[in-house]
């Protein structure tokens, strides 16, 4: 693997997102990227990472989830094997305990250290950040917030999450759905709209997300339609507050020249 081939996409391409919007990596896929031929040897690296996590007084269960999966064998056979779901921080620890003589692991150590740092930034440091850094910070908060909101929505009986999230967007963006927002921003197919928002627009969406979650929980909202209505009205209320304060409407805020994916590269 040469320098041209080693970039952040080798890690982003194998990243998974669960039903709650939480990102993770599968250890057996990471094993191939890290060029470990034998699972036994790579699992030893994971075990060292587990010890490092425990020694840092960080909950192992939050970052290393042991799972079982079926893999295909020759002639249509299958075999059950062990695997791990790894958080970004877990990937960082695995890279730190891997063979740094391998170029891809040396790159991974830096990459996951930078990415993990983005998630650890404190509010005290926020004011000193550039606009691009604020976008990364707010995007991460939105991602976590959506994960929590999805749990609350699921408990309220929501099954169609696209419709649920669009209800919130419609309230905040004067009737626009996620697809409408993407088209207005001239985004490519399946480009993430949140990756193409400035920090102010991300803050407005984070407020919508957090307020909706609190409302669903506090009022013990039940029923998909009721949950959708709550999300719409929260978004609309936030829009009304912006209007009363003579602020700039979300759809009128400028789209950054570069998406966060481009900035990461």
CA distance 187 to 84: 34
Q: Residue 48: its pLDDT value, please?
A: 95
Q: Residue 246: its pLDDT value, please?
A: 79
Q: Residue 6: its pLDDT value, please?
A: 47
Length of the chain (residues): 265
Phi and psi, residue 140, nearest 5°: -65, -40
Report residues of the chain scoring pLDDT below 70.
1-9, 74, 76, 114, 117-125
Q: Residue 189: its pLDDT value, please?
A: 85
Find all residues with CB under 8 Å of 232, minimum gap 6, and list them: 167, 168, 170, 171
∠ CA 5-9-12, nearest 5°, is 145
- Nearest in space to 217 (alpha carbons), one of 127, 147, 155, 134: 155
Q: Residue 140: its pLDDT value, please?
A: 87
Six-digit token string for 259: 């998406």
Burial 126-156 (b: 16+ CB within 10 A, else e): eeeeeeebbbbbbbbbbbbbbbbbbbbbbeb
Task: Return the residue matching tokens 């997300």.
Answer: 209
∠ CA 82-83-89, nearest 5°, is 150
Strand partners, 79: 71
Q: Residue 112: its pLDDT value, please?
A: 80
CA distance 222 to 217: 10
Residue 213 near residue 221 (C-beta atoms within 8 A): no
Helix (H, G, I), strand (E, B) or coil at 23: strand
Residue 167 near residue 228 (C-beta atoms within 8 A): yes
Q: What is the pLDDT of residues 244-263, one digit of tens each?
A: 887 899 999 999 999 998 88
Task: Return the residue matching tokens 């020759």.
Answer: 74
- Nearest in space to 174 (alpha carbons), one of 98, 238, 257: 238
């Amino acid at each position: 693997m040469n320098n041209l081939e080693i970039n952040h996409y080798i890690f982003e391409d194998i990243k998974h997102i669960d039903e709650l919007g939480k990102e993770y990596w599968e250890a057996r896929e990471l094993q191939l990227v890290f060029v470990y031929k034998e699972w036994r040897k790579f699992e030893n690296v994971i075990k060292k990472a587990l010890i490092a996590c425990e020694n840092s007084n960080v909950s192992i269960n939050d970052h290393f989830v042991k799972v079982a999966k079926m893999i295909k064998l020759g002639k249509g056979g299958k075999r059950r094997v062990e695997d791990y779901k790894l958080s970004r921080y877990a990937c960082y620890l695995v890279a730190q305990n891997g063979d740094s003589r391998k170029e891809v692991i040396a790159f991974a150590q830096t990459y996951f250290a930078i990415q993990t740092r983005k998630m650890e930034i404190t509010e005290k440091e926020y004011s000193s950040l550039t606009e691009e850094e604020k976008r990364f910070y707010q995007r991460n908060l939105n991602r976590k917030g959506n994960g929590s909101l999805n749990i609350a929505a699921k408990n309220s009986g929501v099954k169609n999450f696209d419709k649920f999230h669009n209800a919130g967007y419609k309230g905040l963006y004067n009737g626009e759905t996620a697809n409408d927002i993407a088209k207005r921003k001239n985004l490519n197919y399946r480009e993430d709209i949140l990756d193409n928002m400035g920090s102010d627009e991300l803050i407005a969406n984070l407020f919508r997300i957090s307020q909706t979650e609190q409302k669903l929980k506090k009022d013990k909202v039940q029923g998909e339609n009721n949950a959708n209505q709550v999300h719409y009205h929260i978004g609309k209320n936030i829009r009304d507050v912006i209007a009363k304060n003579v602020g700039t409407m979300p759809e009128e805020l400028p789209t950054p020249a570069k998406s966060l994916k481009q900035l990461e590269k």
